[in-house]
Amino acid sequence: MSRNRNSRGMLARAGETQDELNGSENFDMTLAQVEEELRTLHLSTARITRSLEELRKLSEQDKQRVDTQELNLTLAQLKQSLGESGERRSNVDRDLEKMEEELESLKSKVLNLSLTRERHIPLPISPPIRAALQAFYAGGNKSQWTPDAYGRPQYSYQARDGHITLFFEHPPDTVETVGVLWKVVKDLSVETADIFLILMSQIAKLPNPQLNIARMSLEEIAEYRSVKLRHGSSYLLYEDFKQEVMRLADLRLTMGWQDYKGGTLFFGKERPDRLLDIVDVEYKRDGKSWTAFGFRCGQALAHFLDPDGLRWIGNYASLLLSLSPYHEALAKKIGTYWTLVGTIAGKGGMQPHATIRSILEFCGEEPNMEKPGRTVEAIIEAHERLREVGVLEEIPDFEPPSRQRGFFQEWLDEPRTVKLAESLWKLNQPSDRNRTLPASSNQPPARRNEPNLRVLPAPSSRLSAALEVPANHNDLCETPARIQQFRTEFHLHQAELAQALGISRETLSRYERGVRKLPEEIARKVLELWQNKASGWQD
C-alpha cells in the first residue's frame, strides 16, 4: 500500500516536473515570442522613425515647393501687373502722340485758314509784271539797263505781242540828273522784286483791282519776307523796305500791246504811265512812328486785271520770298520765272518749257562763256533747291551729255520741261474763280510773251506706285537709269546721293546716263541704300 502511495507520489512529482518542463518551455516560447515581437516592434519603430524622417524631409521639400510656387505665382502676377502697367503706359503714349498729331494738324489747318500768306500769296500774271521783274533783276552793279537819247537809264522788254519800256521819273534838271538815275538803277535788287510781288499780292486780293486801293505797313512787308531784323536793327530793316517801295513809286512805263481781239493798245504814249500809284502815310505818337502805304495799279497793270483783258492769277510760294536775296538769289529768280510761265502753261493744260538762255535772260544773268561749268552747276543747284522747297515737283536732268569743247551753246538752247507744283497755278478760292480767264466764247489759247519759249508735248507722268528694288547689283549695272528713278522716288538730290557714294555728282550723272559703265562696287552701294530706304530706314 505504501508502495502504491509512493508510486502515486512519484508519479505526481513526475507529472509536476513535466508540467514545469512544459511551462518552462511555454515560457521560453513566450519570451522568445515577446523578444521577437520586441525586435519586430523595434524594426517597426525604426521604420516608423525612418518614415517620419522621410515624411519630415518630404514635408520640408513640399513646403519649399509650395513656397517656390507661391513665389513664382507672385512673380507672375507682378510681371502681369507690370505688363498691364506698361501696356497702359504705351496706350497713354500712343494717345499723347495721336493728340499731338491732331494738334499739329489742327494748327496747320488754322494757319492755312487764317494766314494763307504763310504758304502762298496770290499773284496776277501779265506782261507789265513780267517786264518789271525782269527790269529789277537786270539792275544792280552789273546793270543791263541801256541809256536813252539823253543818257538816262531805261529797260526795254520786247515780246511777240508788243514792247514795254520802263524808266524812272526824272528829277529836276541838274548836272547830276543822269548820275542820280543811274544810282537808282544800281540800287535795284532781288529784294526790290520781292517787295513788288508782295504789293501785287495785295492788289490781287481787292474786290475790284482796277479801282480799289490796297494798304500795307512796313511791319507786314517784313512778315511776308520772313525777316525781323537787319544788321541787328528793325529800324534799318524798315528803312530798307521803305526805300524799295519809294523806288517802285518812281517807276514809269510806256507800252504798246496787242490784245487777244486783234487790236493794239498803247499806254503812256504822250505821258508816261505809273507802274503803281503809291502814297506813303506816317503816323507818330509817344515818340513812335508807324509807316504804311496806300497803292493801286497804274493803267497798264489795271488793264490786264480787267475782265476784257487776257489775265492769269496764280499763287506765289512764300518760301521763295523767305530765300536769301544774297545767297540764294538765282534760285529765287528762277522760281519766279517758272511760276509766271508755269501758271499760264498749267491753266492751258500744258507744262512749262524753256531754254536755259531764256531763263538766264529773265534773271538778268549772263552765261559764263569762259567757265561754262560754273553756269551748269549753278542751274542744277538752283533747280534742286526749288524742288526741295516744293516749288517744282519734277525737274529734268540738266547735266549735259558731255562737257567737251562746244557743248555749251547747244546746252543753252535745248528746251527743258519742268512740272510746277499744282498748288501754285490752281486757285480753289471762290473769290478768285471769276478772275482766272475772261468771259469770252472765243477764248484764245494761252499766249507766250517770250520769243524763245517753245511749247512741247507734255511728258508722260511717272507711275505713282513704288518702284521695285532691283534683285541684285547686276540689274543696276545693266539698267543704270534706274538710279535716277530711285532718286526721284525717295526725293534724293544727285549731289546728295553722290556724296553718300563717295563720288562726284558729275560721275554719278554719267553712270545714270550710261556714258560710263557703272562699277559693281558703286552698284552694290546703291542697292544697299535702296533696300534701306525701301524698308523705312532713315539716314
Report the CATH number that the domain containing residue 495 is assigned in CATH: 1.10.260.40
Q: Do 402 and 515 touch, CB atoms closer than 8 A? A: yes
User: 123 with 17, same domain?
Assistant: no
Residue 400 domain-assigned?
Answer: yes
Q: Where is the domain boundary, 114, 149, 181?
A: 114
Which pTM does this prediction carry? 0.63
> Is 313 in contact with 125 (CB distance < 8 Å)?
yes
52 shares its domain with 141: no
Type of residue found at 43: L
In whole angstroms, what is the distance from residue 411 CA to residue 397 CA?
12
Q: Does 458 or 393 have the greater pLDDT score?
A: 393
Note whether 101 and 127 are same-domain residues.
Answer: no
Amino acid at 393: E
Cα distances from 168 to residues 54, 58, 72, 267, in angstroms, run: 118, 112, 92, 16
Q: Is there a single domain that holds both residue 276 and residue 412?
A: yes
Nearest to 397 by CA among 480, 501, 325, 314: 480
User: Are 138 and 88 in the same domain?
Assistant: no
* 154 bridge partner residues: 146
Stretch 197-204: mean pLDDT = 94
Q: What is the dihedral of CA 169, 175, 176, 182, to 10 degrees?
A: 60
- Residue 45 lies in domain: 1-114
Residue 348 DSSP class: T
Are residues 106 and 121 part of one domain?
Answer: no
Neighbours of 82 (CB within 10 A): 11
Q: What is the chain's Cα-based Rg?
A: 49
Q: What is the model's pLDDT at position 440?
A: 33
Q: Is the pLDDT of residue 140 over 90?
A: yes
Q: Indicate whether 418 and 331 sit together in one domain.
A: yes
| Whether residue 289 sits in one domain with residue 427 | yes
Say whether both 258 and 144 belong to one domain: yes
SS3 108: helix
How many domains, in total, are found in the chain?
3
In this predicted structure, what is the pLDDT of residue 38?
A: 66
Q: How far apart are CA 51 and CA 40, in angstroms?
A: 16
Q: Is 213 part of a structural domain of the chain?
A: yes
- Beta-carbon neighbour count of residue 210 at 10 Å? 16
Give residue-wise pLDDT tens across range 232-242. 999 999 999 99
Average pLDDT over residues 82-104: 66
Write down the pLDDT at residue 166. 97
User: Which one of 95, 114, 133 terminates a domain?
Assistant: 114
221 and 184, same structural domain? yes
Q: Give the chain's mean pLDDT.
A: 79
Q: Is residue 465 one of the residues assigned to a domain?
A: no
**4-13, 419-428, 448-457 — most confident range:** 419-428
The CA dihedral of 149, 154, 157, 158, to the nearest 10 degrees, is 0
Both 211 and 174 in a single domain?
yes
Distance CA 139, CA 251 (A): 13
**316 within 8 A of 338, measured Cβ to Cβ:** no
In a domain, residue 185? The reply is yes
Co-location of 408 and 317 in the same domain = yes
The answer as to whether 224 is a domain residue is yes
More reliable by pLDDT, 430 or 513: 513
